[in-house]
Structure 1
Amino acid sequence: MHENTRNAGDEDDGEVTREIAWPAGSVGLAALDTEDAELLHGWRSDPVTAHQLGLWPRPLTALRERIERDIEDDDRDDFLVVVPEGPPGGLPIGYAALTGQSIVDGAAQVEVVIAAEHRGRGHGAAALDALVDLAFGELPMYRLTAETHTDNSPALAVLAASGFVEEGVRRAACLHRGRRHDLAVFSLLRPEWEGLDRPRAWDA
């Protein structure tokens, strides 16, 4: 299934079209492009997101340059998370990434961020499931990992619901706002994904 989407606020002239590569539940994943830097900058500047990811303010120009650099990086794939509501073609509500990809080891790390105003609706879980299906259904991955603060209850719940298993805690592994934070480490293996009783992204 494919459909075209565009950013909120785009005009008909010079319209930006997007192909949803992976529809899954309430969302779809569309490839991230440099023109999306302003969206990401706004989401990453949200205080809650910044705390959860351990981010600090960065210039928009630096983020745009990073996106341009990452597009050429074969070790990662970055996506916008899009819902089919709002403006014509859908509404970007967050981003998802598959980073640190090692084809030799069959390993990668997952990352999902949903904009503050769209949290609590199941979109994060749908985006994570879509990303996992990409890693195991189209790429030769065997092991996926994820990390989050041990006090990030929503993220812990989403990871568990998607089949990830908590492996342990990296104690005092993150310095943010003058405090040390523990990081919970999760993983999902291919046989565990194969045993999940849910539709795959390509069945949506």
Structure 2
Amino acid sequence: MTTAATAESDADANADADDTVTDRPTTLRGRLVALAPLDVDDAELLHGWRSDPTAAHEIGIWPRPLSALRARIERDVDNSDRDDFLILLPDGTPVGHCAVFQQDFADGSAELELMLAPGHRRRGLAVDALRTLTDLAFGELPLHRLEANTHTTNAAALGTLASAGFTHEGVRRSACMHRGRRHDVAVLGLLRPEWEAQDRPRAWDV
């Protein structure tokens, strides 16, 4: 199972019927999306997204019951090395989930993960959400390096990460087991100087 990946593939369905419009406060807004802290009540929404066949395949999600996911979110609320966010459209519609985790302030490193809901992929939302998340991580935390991992065959995720400025650093060969076969995992990284050199407005300037 890959620990951090973006899933934005060709196999898209219509927008989820369970998507709801909210007026919840946001942490940071990008050009197309905003990030809001994940709440325990979002467990059912995430559970539905994680059950999507495309996400389950590209990210390698192990099926868990809703109760286990809710318990994990409750546990992570007080976890000082992990922060989870809902990805929202401007009207408040939730369209995905992202996180900064494995935060190590001694080494200045952390990992990222991102998943979009079916029906909201291939619209540029993942790139904007990832850029917003990197702005949040580098702008508010004493981090020097962000890392993301995904299957080497997940072309959509690799393209999203490249568009957000991540560099392909290497491959962890045969690093995960999924659907009866071993998969290679690509390792991508973004360093603070590379983020600072990006010629684009930061999320707080949008």
- Whole-Å separation in 2 of the counterparts to 1:134 and 1:102: 16
Q: What do the CA deviations read for 1:151-185 (whole angstroms, capped 9, x no partner)?
A: 11111001111110001001110101111111110
What do the CA deviations read for 1:87-130 (whole angstroms, capped 9, x no partner)?
xxx10000010000011111000101001210000000011001
Larger relative contact order (CA 8 Å, sep ≥ 6) = 2
Bigger-Rg structure (1/2): 1
- Unmatched tracts of structure 1, length 5 or more: 1-6, 11-15
Matched-pair identity in %: 58
Query: Corresponding residue for 2:121?
Result: 119
Match of 1:201 in 2: 203
Q: Quick one: structure 1 residues 179 and 189, their matched pair in 2 at CA, closer, same or farther if it must change by over 3 Å?
A: same
How many residues are aligned here?
Answer: 189
TM-fit CA distance, 1:143: 0.3
Match of 1:70 among 76, 86, 92: 76
Offset of 1:18 from its aligned partner? 1.3
Q: Could you tell me how far apart the structure 1 residues matched to 2:20 and 2:125 are?
A: 22
- Which one of 40, 51, 63 corresponds to residue 46 of structure 2? 40
Please report the TM-score for the alignment, with normalisation by the length of structure 2: 0.89
CA displacement at 1:54 relative to structure 2: 1.2
**Counterpart code for 1:174:** C
Q: Classify 1:9/1:108 alpha carbon distance in 2 versus 1 (closer, same or farther; 3 Å).
A: closer
Name the structure where strand makes up a greater proportion of residues: 1
2:144 aligned partner, one-letter code: Y
The runs of at least 4 consecutive aligned structure 1 residues that moved more than 3 Å come to 7-10
Offset at residue 29 of structure 1 (A):
0.1
TM-score normalised over the length of structure 1: 0.90
What one-letter code is carried by the residue in structure 2 that aligns with 1:46? D
Deviation at 1:200, TM superposition (A): 0.5
Q: Which residue of 2 aligns with 1:107?
A: 109
Cα distance in 2, alignment partners of residues 172 and 62 from structure 1: 28
Q: 2 CA distance for matches of 1:174 and 1:121? A: 29
RMSD (Å) for aligned C-alpha atoms: 1.3
Amino acid in the other structure paired with 1:67: I
